[in-house]
Amino acid sequence: MGVGIKAIYLLCLTVVFLTTSGFRNYYYPNKQLHVLLSDPGLAKLQPDEALEKKLIELVDNSVSGSIIRMSFFRITSMDLANSLVSAFKKGVKVRVIVNREAESSAIDLLKVNLSGESFILHCGDSTRKSCMGVGINHNKFAMFSTTKSNIENLGLVKVENVTVQTSSNMTSPQQNMFNDMIIFYNNLSVYEIYKQYFTDLKSNVLKPNYFQERMSTPPYGISNENNIDIKFYFFPRNDGADTIFNVLNNVKCEKGLSSVRISMAHWKNDDRGQMLANKLAELLRMGCNVEILGSKNISDHGEYATAFHYIKSLSINLISVPESAKASIHSKLLLVSSKYGDNAEFKELVFTGSHNFTKDALSENDETLLKIDDSRVYNQYLDYWLYMKNQIKDSIDRERMCI
């Protein structure tokens, strides 16, 4: 066997494990912001339960008399459902909102056990699946008025006004995908913003331009004492504008200094998908470094193959998780490092949440998009993005040589 062939043979027999360099668990210096980043592994499937387990930890430690609020597209986790029922039985008010068609044994358990001031609500009616849009309730967030959390170097400590935003549904398949979670501890401002959103979802009243309603009634963003700016966007939006396009339009490209990096689960080749791709191509021509990581869906043979080919036709650097990989991407990340906005001030921004680059996510669904303006948080997400990129490239190389 030749040296080259032998090397390929050994590569195909070997499972590649990449280390995470410590970015899976990041705490802001004051411990009031916590970022968790899952790593399911592309070469050999290693289901990552970290995000679900963290949510269950917060449920299990909720204090009697406190309130849990959460809204998810899907919940199939029996572990989470059992924890919610146990919390209810010890005196916690448990309030859950899910998509109209979200059905599972976990949801059945909640239906049977929750009562009084606790409930599980299915959004919509016979004409729609979402609470305020005409699409689906695609949200992935939770809130805890008083609970305890294991926090780095502090152990299990009491925390209040806790808000959790994630890209992950509470289902087993999500543990096989790259997802992120941001937790705000002891942050009343963030908690109250999400509390209002939850209340509006609970009303289950059709509001096709809810985005404009919320943006016209502050607060919809906060800036705290640690110089971290946070802004929230709640959908659906039907005022003729596009939030992501507006973000990209604020990027002021300088060759070698500006970058736009994306990892996206779903990107359709509809009017919106093409508009965003065209804008990214424009930024590329203006000198920005533009790179996209796609899920198996956004690939040559994926569900959104036409979007894949359209983006590639614009000479944008797009690599997707190959079919042979054991996991995929479910995150919805947009990372911007550039001069930004009317003042052309240099920014390092993270956009995350439940919002895919589809027309549905903009104008039909109940969705949340979160913007964080902070270099420390940005660097954690950048490391994560680069790690995903390397995993995808390794998987592509293995598929090319081994199949």
Q: What is the pLDDT of residue 18?
A: 42
Give a yes or no: residue 304 inside a domain: yes
Give the domain-ending residue among 175, 206, 237.
Answer: 206
Which helix or strand (DSSP H or E) is residue 246 part of? helix 243-249
Residues 122 and 191 in one domain: yes
11: in domain: no
Residue 59 predicted with pLDDT over 60: yes
- Given a cut of 60, whether residue 20 has pLDDT beyond it is no
**Residues 232-266 pLDDT 10s:** 999 999 999 999 999 999 999 999 999 999 999 99
Task: Tell me whether residue 359 is in a domain.
Answer: yes
User: Other CB atoms closer than 10 Å to residue 10's CB: what's the count?
Assistant: 9
Assess if residue 164 is contained within a domain.
yes
Residue 115, Cβ density class (10 Å: 0-12 exposed, 13-18 middle, ≥19 buried): exposed
pLDDT for residue 403 is more than 60:
no
pLDDT in tens, 267-290: 999 999 999 999 999 999 999 999
Residue 63 has pLDDT above 80, yes or no: yes
* Dist CA 182 CA 88 (whole Å): 25
Q: Domain range for residue 55?
A: 21-206
Count of residues in the chain: 403
% of the chain residues with pLDDT over 70: 93
CB-count burial class (<10 Å; 0-12, 13-18, 19+) for 205: exposed
Average pLDDT over residues 154-179: 95
Model confidence at 400, pLDDT cuts 50, 70, 90, reads confident
Q: Output the pLDDT for position 8.
A: 47
Per-residue confidence (pLDDT) for residue 10, from 0 to 100: 46
Statement to judge: residues 238 and 179 lie in one domain: no
**Residues 269 and 178 reside in one and the same domain:** no
Give the DSSP H or E segment for 379. Answer: helix 375-402
271/323 same-domain check:
yes
Same domain, 374 and 313: yes
How many structural domains compose the chain?
2
92 & 239 share domain: no
Does 317 map to a domain?
yes
Lowest mean pLDDT among 46-55, 56-65, 189-198, 211-220: 211-220
Q: Are residues 92 and 240 in the same domain?
A: no
235 and 195 fall within a common domain: no
Domain edge (last residue) among 172, 206, 240: 206
Copy the structure tokens of residue 164: 């959790």
Residue 96 and residue 121: Cα distance in Å, rounded? 6
Alpha-carbon 164 to chain mean position:
11
Single out the residue in 206, 221, 254 at which a domain terminates. Answer: 206
3 state DSSP class of 307: helix
Q: Flag whether the pTM goes above 0.85.
A: yes
What is the distance, to the nearest Å, from the Cα of residue 95 to the centroid of all Cα atoms in its chain? 21
Residue matched to tokens 């954690």: 380
Residue 345 lies in a domain: yes
Residue 94 covered by a domain: yes
Residue 30 pLDDT grade (very low, low, confident, very high; cuts 50, 70, 90): confident
Collapse the DSSP code of 224 into the 3-class scheme (helix H, G, I; strand E, B; otherwise coil) and give the result.
Answer: coil
Q: Do 238 and 281 have their domain in common?
A: yes
Whether residue 255 sits in one domain with residue 131: no
pLDDT reported for residue 12 = 53
- The answer to whether residues 192 and 292 belong to one domain is no
Same domain, yes or no: 196 and 136: yes
Q: What is the overall mean pLDDT for the chain?
A: 91
Alpha helix (H) ranges present in 114-262? 188-203, 210-215, 243-249
- Quick one: pLDDT at residue 226? 64
Asked if the model's pLDDT at residue 9 lies above 50, the reply is no
Mean pLDDT lowest for which of 1-5, 69-73, 134-138?
1-5
| DSSP letter, residue 121 | E
User: Within a domain: residue 293?
Assistant: yes
- The CATH number covering residue 66 comes to 3.30.870.10
